[in-house]
């Protein structure tokens, strides 16, 4: 019975979110455009469970590049309305559209000339009639068997807020670097802000051999430096190729391979990355090509550094 109830709740809430899709119309597009043109902040207001959802929407908007804040409607009536300016946009959340605490503020929003976007299931409600744009978050039923506790309706509201935030993120061309700037603390910030140049090996740490050495000498360099490869440079110290562990294994089938030239067995055109790239991009590139290292070259194709998978995992504490 317990699992049956839980599955029923999830089905109802999943259906509530799914039913939002056909409700997305020009109003949603206009809401995104209105927020993009906003010179102030997005002020989200709601009370009770809608207020809790509103706070989460504010957090998502703010962390993805849309300046936002939450206004408690009761506190608003006791002085907090002073935070509203004519440059702001208000997102008012009320499932019924008849929440007294919300509707009591509508005349003030209008007086301040702040535009109003409502999230409501009451598309003909008082709130809807006084809004510039209405986003329909109505649901057919709550997951609560009594039909009283907001469940499916709050889930639908949260999903609509996420859809709004992500649509805004994409329209702003909000990038990882922008996200990292807003999340400097903790492991998430380190993951997104750490750059290749912060962890790459340089100088004598780089395994390097000249183009005219034998395989025996190249293998010794690989063993000493422990990267699993050695860079092969020409007479001008420019990158000519790379000798990897895989190349060494393939060379052993040749007679007297240790005394043969390294250029015979090396691989050309190794994978590189810019030193100003994010460390997470280096990790993604390694995964894409199933390799463990990337090279960093300067503008003259001279090796400037190397970055190994272990350096990334050790410093950034994350994996894909």
pLDDT tens-digit map of 58-89: 999 998 999 999 999 999 888 888 889 999 99
Average pLDDT, the chain: 89
Alpha-carbon span 27 to 227, nearest angstrom: 56
Binned at pLDDT 50, 70 and 90, residue 31 comes out as very high
pLDDT at site 194: 78
Is the pLDDT at 186 greater than 70? The verdict is: no
What would the pLDDT profile of 266-293 be if each residue is shown by its tens digit? 988 888 899 988 888 888 888 888 888 8
Domains defined along the chain, listed by start:
2-174 (3.40.50.10490), 196-316 (3.10.580.10)
What would the pLDDT profile of 251-266 be if each residue is shown by its tens digit? 888 888 899 898 999 9
User: Which has more pLDDT, 187 or 291?
Assistant: 291
Q: How far is CA 267 from the centre of its chain?
A: 35
Predicted TM-score (pTM) of the model is 0.66
Among 13-27, 149-163, 248-262, the least confident range: 248-262
Pairing of strands 239-244, 229-233: antiparallel
Give the residue-averaged pLDDT of 293-297: 89
Alpha-carbon span 43 to 35, nearest angstrom: 11
pLDDT at site 282: 86
pLDDT at site 320: 40
pLDDT at site 181: 66
Binned at pLDDT 50, 70 and 90, residue 196 comes out as confident
Is the pLDDT at 319 greater than 50? The verdict is: no
- The DSSP output letter for 85 is -
- Cα-Cα-Cα-Cα dihedral sign, residues 277, 283, 287, 293: positive
Strand ranges of the sheet holding 115-120, from the earlier edge strand across to the other edge: 68-71, 42-45, 89-93, 115-120, 133-136
CA distances for 55 relative to 93, 96, 191, 194, 282, angstroms: 11, 19, 26, 30, 35
Alpha-carbon span 308 to 225, nearest angstrom: 12
Alpha-carbon span 181 to 193, nearest angstrom: 7
Give the residue-averaged pLDDT of 10-27: 96
33: how many CB neighbours lie within 10 A of its CB? Answer: 13
């Amino acid at each position: 019975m317990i699992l049956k109830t839980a599955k029923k709740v999830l089905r109802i809430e999943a259906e509530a979110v799914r039913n939002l899709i056909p409700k997305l119309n020009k109003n949603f597009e206009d809401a995104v455009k209105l927020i993009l043109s906003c010179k102030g902040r997005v002020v989200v207001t709601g009370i009770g469970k809608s207020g809790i959802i509103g706070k989460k929407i504010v957090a998502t908007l703010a962390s993805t590049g849309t300046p936002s804040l939450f206004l408690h409607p009761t506190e608003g009536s006791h002085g907090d309305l002073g935070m509203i300016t004519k440059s702001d946009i208000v997102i008012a959340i009320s499932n019924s559209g008849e929440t007294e605490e919300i509707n009591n503020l509508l005349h003030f929003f209008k007086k301040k000339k702040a535009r109003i976007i409502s999230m409501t299931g009451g598309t003909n409600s008082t709130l809807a009639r006084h809004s510039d744009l209405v986003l329909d978050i109505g649901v057919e039923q709550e997951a609560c068997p009594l039909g009283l506790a907001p469940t499916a309706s709050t889930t639908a509201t949260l999903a609509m807020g996420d859809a709004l935030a992500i649509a805004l993120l994409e329209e702003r061309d909000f990038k990882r670097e922008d996200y990292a700037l807003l999340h400097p603390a903790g492991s998430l910030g380190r993951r997104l802000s750490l750059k290749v140049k912060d962890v790459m090996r340089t100088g004598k740490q780089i395994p390097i051999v000249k183009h005219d050495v034998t395989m025996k000498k190249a293998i010794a360099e690989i063993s000493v430096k422990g990267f699993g490869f050695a860079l092969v440079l020409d007479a001008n110290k420019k990158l000519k190729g790379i000798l990897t562990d895989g190349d060494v294994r393939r060379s052993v089938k040749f007679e007297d391979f240790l005394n043969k030239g390294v250029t015979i067995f090396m691989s050309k055109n190794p994978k590189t990355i810019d030193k100003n790239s994010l460390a997470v991009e280096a990790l993604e590139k390694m995964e894409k090509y199933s390799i463990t290292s990337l090279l960093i070259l300067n503008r003259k194709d001279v090796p400037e550094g190397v970055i190994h998978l272990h350096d990334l995992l050790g410093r950034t504490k994350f994996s894909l």
